[in-house]
Amino acid sequence: MNELKPEGDSKKFQDVLREEVKKCPLIPVQNGFETPQETKRVRGNFDDLLSGDLFGELCLHTDERRLRNELDSLDIEYIDYSELRKRINEISDDLSLEERANLINRLVETDSIEGKTPPKLLINGEEETIQPKSTVFLPPEGEEISLPDWVPQRILHPKLTSLLREKFEVSRIRDLRLKLEDFKVSEYNLASLVQSIVAETNRRVEKEEKGELQWRKEMLQALWNLYSSRGENVTLPGDISIPLPTRNGDFRKADSLYLGEGYPNCKILEELYGPVESNLFVISPEELKFCEEPEKIEEFLCWLGVAKKPRHVEKEVNNSGYLNYVLNSLQFPAKFGNLTLDNARKVKYSSHRLKVQSIDKLEEIIEKSDPHAIICYLATISGELDSWRREGDEDAVLKVKPANKINWRSLKGQEIPSYPLWLLENEDWLPVENGSSRQVPKVCSIAKEVKDLSPVVGYPAVDMSHSLIEEERLDKTLVSTTLRKVGVSNTLEELSWDSFYKILLELPSLDPEGEKARHLYRVLIENKKGSPSSEKHEEFLEKGKMLGEFDGEKSYYPVDELYYLENATLPETIISQYPILELGERRGAAQVKKIFGVERLSMDKVSIRNPEFKEHPLSKEFKSELERLKPLVYALRVDKDQKFTERNRIRELEVILCKSFEANASVGDKEFEIKLENGKFITEGSKVFLVYEPEEFEKNILKDERLASLVGDIFSSVLNVDISDKTYILAQSDNRENALRFTEGIGEEALNKARKYLQGKEDSEITFVAPEPTPVEEKETEEEKKEEREERERGVESEEEQKGEKEIESVKIREKEMPVSEKRNIEIRRVTKRSETPTSTGPRKRADADLAEKISLKFEEENNRSPIPVSHIQGGGAYGCDIISFETESKMNKFKDEANPEMIDRFIEVK
């Protein structure tokens, strides 16, 4: 047929036929047949979905390529997408869930939407049509969520969601979201929904300011619905700001509010923050109608950011007291970036910033809140208090900016003490017995002796029947433990120096009869170690009074008029000439002087004339036994006798055992007679006259216990050190060398050294010059090098250039507790002189090990450390070195009691 052509016409027959077909209703459509010109095509097979008069002109679908080509050749157009969407929107309300799912699936699979506005096929859980411009979230699995109409976001119907997963053959929500991208569907995101609800509430509040409370309550209702339907614990991001109504009718961000009265377990918060600011509390649960259970409302509000315990906050601190405390705790020289500062003064007088972690409004709480609430709160954070004390503030930042520098430098390699702990220890918030004002915890004590002395030294006045104490079930032990963690001492000896000198200054008015004075003096002298370092100490030495006895009466005397009686061996006629401190004997004259400023009563102030004595028949034997004892006594002191002062006193000491002694004596203008009683002695220069009648003995006269004790007192008096007990033990021992070794750890070498020195064979004076440490150059970072280059280009001098050839400033030394350094072995090498006539073959002179050890001990003492020689200790108990050293004397004394190797700071091997 193709070969046939009408006369005068060049068209092919097919073309002619198509022209004729276009005029005829031959195309199958939903409602029968239509002409090609009236027919519309649609991409994909929608025959079972788009039917009826509204879609009557839509061409039926075919998969045959030949037929599709013919439809193309007949110029049958595709229906315009906007028209198709309009018609689908018209039937949307009548579609079933199955039909909706199929229609959405076909539109997506055929790319019919192509980024344009989708038809209204999505519905929410209430089967309400979701407008195309709304933000749509897929629902959480297994949950039905509804949002109020005023919220622009919508949640897709959960059953429709399930059908769509089936139609698209996907199992993961994420894959379904990708399929529904043209419908602007997002994965369920609780945080995003919350943020959207809050944002819409804020927008509406701006328009209707008078209705803010109602809008906030509706917002809380919507958020509650989301919270109640969440499938898992979801934490809201910290950057979501949710304004909530307060108890006072104001509105504040959730992350600045606290739960208060009406909520379970929030009484402590109420008592802590109520006096500070009443507007810090969120609206009461009675005003929130969406739930009748306060416990659940509490959980919900905490989820939004409201706190049920005091918040931790970061803040910049400008408290000069705390800054001084921080600087005193640092080790200098200290590194600040690439800058080294060698003392606290340079930090303090540079520009500085100190940022720390603290408790929200802690300063106001301490000033205004009930101390019982503070105690109850502290009891709940016991572990945190321990961490603050042990580890300090790991997140604190101390920065300095020296003159002529642009950038701030941060402290490196050192921790900063906790600011809240310092505040709790040093601010006056603790009520005390007999006091109208509050006291600083660290000058308070729970020791029983303090109760009657309060409020000079505060005894905490905690009401154990207080409602908070009872509700938290705190007993006295827990309260005491909590108070101790913020500085309150458990015993008198734990009190600071300031506290003790405050007691001593106020004691004459608090204890006028002196009933407690003697006990307090003894507690102080027995337990306080180290040297006093406080302003109160200086004030006490200048103005203080202490209890003393004079002429049979007790009264308070200025400390510079009192004398301390180390032992009762002086004649009573001498003792009666002075007011004697009520302390008791054998407390250590040096310690009494250091702490109280009271001088030891000695024969130095007494002039002796015309002595008459009757020497005891056993005097010769006594002197002989004493001479044998002298080297052992000196062995106790030889390592501390750097100038041989004690050696000379022992060597020259002569003790005369008498049956009687009488003399004339004078003190100033006073003259009197002395007659020694049995068991008394008197000193005149290097001679000591002792009146005593020994008991019967077989070999050793010093087996007499009373006589051995008197000998100990004599040596203590002559040397002005307390070695009475040690001397007594040595005097009584059958094998004194073994006693010296076992009780004091002093071996044969030290004893031989003592004997040698007593014979006058002392070493020449030794001067130890510590080698200068080799400076370690620290590498600069690229950033620091760049900074230094920029500063040089601006003409800013470097730290080294600023130093130039300037004079070294005066050095001030202040005693303080040093941090424990890491255990390490230190070798001190001794440089020996060569022999004047050295030979290559003869043996070299051996080094003096004792001398080297003595140099090392002196070096440690010169550097304010407390060393103990241990080279004599052998076997399993040995320390593996020659000297162990401690940063403080108190630490050394504690080690002697506990023998804990972890307390040792330095292990020194002498070479």
- Give the 3-state secondary structure of residue 727: helix
Handedness of CA 24, 28, 32, 35 (dihedral sign): negative
Tell me, yes or no, whether 659 and 514 share the same domain.
Answer: no
Order of all β-strands in the sheet with 397-401: 312-316, 351-359, 397-401, 409-410
* Alpha carbon distance 171, 51 (integer Å): 31
H/E stretch holding 884:
strand 883-886
Structural domain contains residue 81: no
How confident is residue 232, by pLDDT bands cut at 50, 70 and 90?
low
Nearest to 348 by CA among 309, 374, 322, 387: 322
Same domain? 623 vs 571: no
| Residues sharing a CB contact under 8 Å with residue 506, sequence separation 6 or more, in sequence order | 456
d(CA 14, CA 26): 16
Lowest mean pLDDT among 194-208, 485-499, 677-691, 822-836: 822-836
Most confident of 441-445, 589-593, 878-882: 441-445
Whether pLDDT at 783 is above 50: yes
Candidate ranges 239-243, 385-389, 518-522; pick with highest mean pLDDT: 385-389
Instruction: Give which of 121, 146, 143 is closest to 131, Cα–Cα.
Output: 121
pLDDT at 875: 53
Calculate ∠ Cα 331-333-335, nearest 5°. 95
Half-sphere exposure of 603 (CA within 13 A, CB side): 24
What is the DSSP-derived secondary structure letter of residue 640?
A: G
Residue 254: pLDDT band with limits 50, 70, 90: very high
Name the residue among 192, 103, 118, 100 with its Cα closest to residue 155: 192
Which of the residue ranges 190-199, 234-243, 585-594, 889-898 has the most confident prediction, judged by mean pLDDT?
190-199
Q: Are residues 341 and 455 in the same domain?
A: no
Q: Is the pLDDT of residue 245 over 90?
A: yes
pLDDT at 790 over 70: no
Residues counted in the chain: 911
**DSSP conformational letter for 116:** S
Domain boundary among 730, 759, 788: 759
639 and 706, same structural domain? yes
Phi, psi of 883 (to 5 degrees): -140, 135
Q: Identify whether 678 is part of a domain.
A: yes
Name the pLDDT band for 229 (thresholds 50, 70, 90): confident
208 has pLDDT over 70: yes
User: What integer pLDDT is reported at residue 823 of this predicted model?
Assistant: 41
Does pLDDT of 554 surpass 50? yes
Shared domain check, 705 and 627: yes
Indicate whether 747 belongs to any domain. yes
Q: CA angle at residue 517 from 515 to 523, to 5 degrees?
A: 125
The single-letter DSSP state of residue 613 is E
Number of domains composing the chain: 4
Could you tell me if residue 508 is inside a domain?
A: yes
Q: What is the pLDDT of residues 89-142, one digit of tens each?
A: 999 999 999 999 999 999 999 999 988 999 999 998 888 999 888 889 998 876
Q: Is 573 in the same domain as 715?
A: no
Residue-wise pLDDT for 612-668, tens only, equals 999 999 999 999 999 999 999 999 998 888 888 899 999 999 999 999 999 998 877
Q: What is the pLDDT of residues 728-762, one digit of tens each?
A: 999 999 899 988 988 888 988 889 999 999 887 65
| Interatomic CA distance for residues 503 and 534, integer angstroms | 14
CA dihedral 681, 683, 689, 693 (to 10 degrees): 10
Handedness of CA 585, 591, 596, 597 (dihedral sign): positive
548 and 665 part of one domain: no
What is the C-alpha separation between 753 and 763, in angstroms, rounded? Answer: 10
Residue ending a domain, among 588, 611, 626, is 588
The pLDDT value given to residue 781:
58
The domain in which residue 437 lies consists of 426-588
- The answer to whether residues 416 and 433 belong to one domain is no
Chain mean pLDDT for the chain: 84
Pick from 91-105, 564-578, 889-903 the range whose average pLDDT is largest.
91-105
Q: Which residues pair with 549 in a beta bridge?
A: 554, 580
For residue 376, name the pLDDT band (cuts at 50, 70, 90). very high
Domain stop point among 710, 737, 759: 759
Spatial separation of the C-alpha atoms in residues 568 and 679, rounded to whole Å? 9
pLDDT greater at residue 134 or residue 769:
134
Grade residue 305 by pLDDT with cuts at 50, 70 and 90. very high
158 phi/psi in degrees, rounded to 5: -65, -35
Establish if 172 belongs to a structural domain: no
pLDDT at 475 over 90: yes
d(CA 129, CA 621): 122
Residue 766 lies in a domain: no
User: Would you say residue 569 has pLDDT above 80?
Assistant: no
Structural domain contains residue 820? no
Residue 822 has pLDDT above 50, yes or no: no
User: Could you report the per-residue pLDDT of 268-301, keeping only the tens digit for each?
Assistant: 999 999 999 989 999 999 998 888 899 999 999 9
Structure confidence at residue 88 (pLDDT): 94
Q: Are 408 and 479 in the same domain? A: no
Higher pLDDT, 798 or 572: 572
Judge if 558 and 506 occupy the same domain.
yes
Report whether pLDDT(463) > 90: yes
Lowest mean pLDDT among 66-70, 452-456, 474-478, 504-508: 452-456
Instruction: Evaluate whether residue 783 is within a structural domain.
Output: no
Residues 608 and 695 in one domain: yes
* Statement to judge: residues 532 and 608 lie in one domain: no
| Average confidence (pLDDT) over 844-872 | 75
